[in-house]
């Protein structure tokens, strides 16, 4: 896996944990350092394994990609910690402070000035294009240089996922959302802690992505079986026939 400037013998393990039971309901391994693109695949796997999508899936900031947040269009309810730079940026003229007006197809700045649509711009590093909006009244604006150093006026670039980020910011502004984010650590982190500390599993003992995927599946299965055994002994588990 590429880590920093080089490559290392390492893999990125993924898991989705059910709040009520503590069971791992989806698991995978990838050889990508970032979790950015892993939210939707894990949501889809959990849905397939459980027969339905979760009422709400809470994830940490590593999963805050546009594609992941757009999973709501496929019926997944997600809550992702976007971090203070998205929710409460210190810069008064941060792009998050600009509002998009869909009916008029323009952006509105914190001073209520319009940025009109200018063009569509491609990006070699992205699989999608962005829409560029530019301020038309920058010459008369008293804060033009605080807002932007561009001599042609401030621009805002909107990706196809801008709406998903905007809706996520609105969600995160709610008190119950913040409580859910805090609770996530008590749901997800114990599973990894038990596997590493109690189970002693800290290193892969096989090479190759497929071998590591198989090993992780065995580790996760053992974790779930131990938990199910405790539920069974305690009389909290029943099996339906037929």
Concatenated DSSP letters for 12-32? EEEEEE-TTT--EEEEEEES-
Beta strand 57-59 with 78-80 is parallel
Q: Determine the pLDDT at residue 200.
A: 93
Q: Determine the pLDDT at residue 7.
A: 87
Q: Determine the pLDDT at residue 170.
A: 87
Tokens read off for 93: 């003229």
> DSSP state, 92?
T
The C-alpha atoms of residue 26 and residue 29 are separated, in whole angstroms, by 11
Q: Determine the pLDDT at residue 217.
A: 97
Bin 235: left if φ > 0, else alpha if -120 < ψ < 50, else beta.
Answer: left
Q: Which residue in 186, 103, 98, 100 sits closest to 148, CA to CA?
A: 98
Q: Determine the pLDDT at residue 184.
A: 92
- How many CA atoms does the CB half-sphere of 132 hold within 13 Å? 12
Q: Determine the pLDDT at residue 178.
A: 87
Instruction: Profile the chain (242 residues) by mean pLDDT over runs of 10 residues.
Output: 84 95 96 91 95 93 87 89 69 89 94 95 83 95 95 94 88 89 92 93 93 97 95 85 56
Q: Determine the pLDDT at residue 233.
A: 92
Q: Determine the pLDDT at residue 57.
A: 95
Residue 116 β-bridge partners: 106, 134
Q: Give the CA distances from residue 97 to residues 112, 124, 147, in Å, rounded to whole numbers and listed in that order.
A: 11, 27, 11
Q: Which residues of 146-177 are buried (b: 16+ CB within 10 A; e: fewer)?
A: ebbeeeebbbbebeebbbbbeebeebbeeeeb
The C-alpha atoms of residue 232 and residue 229 are separated, in whole angstroms, by 5
Q: Could you state, in order of their start, the residue ranges of all structural domains in the chain?
A: 2-81+167-233, 86-160
Q: Determine the pLDDT at residue 87.
A: 62
């Amino acid at each position: 896996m590429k880590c920093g400037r080089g490559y290392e013998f390492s893999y990125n393990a993924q898991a989705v944990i059910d709040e009520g039971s503590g069971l791992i309901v989806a698991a995978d391994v990838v050889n990508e350092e970032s979790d950015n693109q892993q939210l939707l695949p894990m949501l889809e796997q959990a849905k397939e394994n459980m027969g339905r999508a979760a009422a709400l899936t809470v994830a940490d900031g590593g999963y805050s990609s546009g594609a992941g947040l757009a999973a709501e269009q496929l019926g997944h309810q997600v809550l992702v910690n976007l971090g203070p730079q998205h929710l409460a940026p210190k810069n008064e003229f941060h792009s998050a402070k600009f509002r998009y007006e869909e009916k008029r197809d323009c952006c509105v700045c914190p001073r209520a000035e319009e940025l009109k649509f200018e063009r569509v711009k491609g990006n070699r590093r992205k699989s999608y294009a962005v829409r560029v909006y530019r301020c038309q009244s920058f010459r008369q604006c008293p804060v033009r240089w605080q807002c932007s150093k561009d001599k042609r006026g401030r621009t805002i670039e909107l990706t196809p996922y801008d709406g998903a980020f905007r809706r996520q910011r609105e969600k995160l502004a709610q008190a119950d959302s913040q409580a859910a984010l805090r609770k996530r650590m008590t749901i997800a982190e114990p599973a990894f802690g038990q596997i590493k500390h109690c189970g002693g599993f800290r290193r892969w003992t096989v090479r190759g992505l497929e071998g590591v995927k198989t090993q992780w599946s065995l580790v996760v299965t053992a974790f779930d079986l131990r938990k199910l055994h405790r539920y069974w002994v305690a009389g909290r588990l029943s099996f339906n026939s037929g």
